[in-house]
Structure formats: C-alpha cells, structure tokens
C-alpha cells in the first residue's frame, strides 16, 4: 500500500470514530489537526477523558500501545487514560472496531457504571421522597 492510501485509511477510521462519538451523544468530536504529524498528540479530539490513538492496519503491533501511552503522557493527559482504537482488517471496514485500554481504567469504567446516582439521599432529597410517598398513598386511597 502506498503511503498516501495508508494515510487515507487512517483518516477514514478517525472520521468513523468521530461520527460514532457524536452519535452516542458524547458531544462534538473532530480529527486532531495534523493527526499523525506528531505536533498534537492523539488522533481524535473530543470531550472524553481518554487520549485516542487510531490504527487501521493489516497487522496489530504491540508498539502501538506504547505509542498511545507515550502520547497520553506527553499530551498532558493522565498516562493511564489512553485508548487505542483498531479496525479488524479481517472484516469489512468498520464492521469490527475495538478499543484497547489499560485494565485499571476498564475496571474504573465498570465501577462508575455500577455506582448509584445518589449513594445516600441528602436531607432535602430524603424529605422530598418521604412527601412523594405520602402523596402517592393519598392518591391511591382517593382512587379506591
């Protein structure tokens, strides 16, 4: 593959990811200006907590993970907050796209997803809930 078509292949994955981020409601996402030039770290700029590096290659290279970590560290991100997005070349383009992240970050995401919105209601919320229950009981009694 000539260098120009390899660059275009990478750009297509970056554009795909930007669209996907926007479609799920995570806000605006754009390809990083000069992506791949090394001037600005990361391939996609979005309001997410991970520095994103995209790879759309025939083979997976472990060095790509090192590159993502290095770029997160240099680009004023938390060194552990990197994501390597890869397209599986065995299938049609963007049919199978995967994210590789640090296992500690994966566990944090699971923990955040599991935590209740309100761990213990504050005094005002507890009072509002109590009043809601009493009002609901009155409505149910009235309907009987």
Q: What is the mean pLDDT of the chain?
A: 86
- The DSSP secondary structure of the chain, one letter per residue, reads --HHHHHHHHHHHHHHHHHHHHHTTS--EEEPTTTTSSSSSSSEEESSSSEEEEE--SS--THHHHHHHHHHHHTTS-TT-EEEEEE-TTSSTTTSEEEEE-HHHHHHHHHHHHS-S-SS--HHHHHHHHHHHHHHHHHHHHH-
Q: Is 57 a residue whose pLDDT tops 80?
A: yes
Number of neighbouring beta carbons within 10 Å of residue 22: 14
Q: How many CA atoms lie within 13 A of 27 on its CB side?
A: 6
pLDDT at residue 35, rounded to an integer: 61
What tens digit of pLDDT does each residue of 75-133 get?
Answer: 766 788 999 999 999 999 999 999 999 999 999 998 888 866 666 767 888 888 889 99
Give the right CATH number for 3-101 from 3.40.1350, 3.30.1920, 3.30.70, 1.20.1630: 3.40.1350
Burial class (CB in 10 A: 0-12, 13-18, 19+), 70: middle
Whether 49 and 56 have beta carbons less than 8 Å apart is answered as no
pLDDT value for 107: 92
pLDDT of residue 118: 63
Average pLDDT over residues 18-47: 84
pTM of the full structure: 0.71
Nearest to 79 by CA among 91, 71, 87: 71
What is the spatial distance between Cα 102 and Cα 82, in angstroms, rounded to a whole number?
Answer: 7
How large is the average pLDDT for residues 20-47? 83
Confidence of residue 74 (pLDDT cuts 50, 70, 90): confident
Domain residues of the chain, as ranges? 3-101
């Amino acid at each position: 593959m000539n260098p120009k078509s390899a660059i275009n292949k990478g750009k297509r994955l970056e554009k795909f990811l930007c669209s996907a981020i926007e479609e799920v409601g995570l806000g605006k996402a754009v390809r990083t200006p000069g992506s791949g030039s090394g001037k600005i770290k990361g391939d996609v700029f979005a309001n997410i907590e991970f520095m994103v590096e995209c790879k759309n290659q025939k083979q997976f290279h472990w060095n790509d993970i090192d590159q993502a970590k290095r770029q997160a560290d240099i680009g004023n991100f938390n060194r552990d907050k990197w994501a390597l997005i890869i397209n599986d070349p065995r299938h049609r383009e963007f049919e199978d796209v995967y994210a590789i992240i640090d296992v500690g970050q994966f566990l944090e995401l699971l923990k955040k997803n599991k935590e209740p919105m309100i761990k213990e209601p504050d005094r005002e919320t507890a009072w509002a809930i109590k009043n809601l229950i009493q009002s609901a009981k009155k409505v149910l009694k009235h309907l009987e």
